[in-house]
Amino acid sequence: LFKFSEFNKLVEDFNSIADFLIIYIEEAHATDGWAFKNNIVIKNHRNLQDRKKAAQCLLKENPLCPVVLDTMENLSSSKYAALPERLYLVQEGKVVYKGGAGPWNYHPQDIRAILEKLK
């Protein structure tokens, strides 16, 4: 949920010219895996129901765009190197921006700058 409010602001400001989507992927810091202290309590997803339950934490933050689940084979995560989090901008079927791996290289302001030029 790093910089989630900044992401939601992007959706709010640019939903008239862009479609936004969150793909909920595998948990990067599961409590039964590589976890941080004081982190949200989510175990590794063993099935789609576990992933759906974990996504409920995100839904409580009121995302302003649709949220979908990655497959249990983690197809989206592996295809887009999304773990732990990453921003993409796709235009006419082509990736025009691939953000760095989050949380430290997760920069919604980069997407904002691109979308400002499209307004």
pLDDT digits (tens, 9 = 90+) for 15-30: 999 999 999 887 655 4
pLDDT surpassing 60 at residue 94: yes
Provide the CATH number for the domain around residue 86.
3.40.30.10
pLDDT at 113: 95
Question: What percentage of the chain has pLDDT greater than the value 90?
Answer: 45
Q: Are 27 and 54 within 8 A, CB to CB?
A: yes
pLDDT surpassing 90 at residue 73: yes
> In which domain, by residue range, is 68 found?
4-118
pLDDT surpassing 60 at residue 1: no
Backbone angles phi, psi at 97, to 5 degrees: -150, 130
Q: How many domains does the chain have?
A: 1
| Burial class of residue 83 (count of CB atoms within 10 Å of its CB; 0-12, 13-18, 19+) | middle
pLDDT surpassing 90 at residue 112: yes
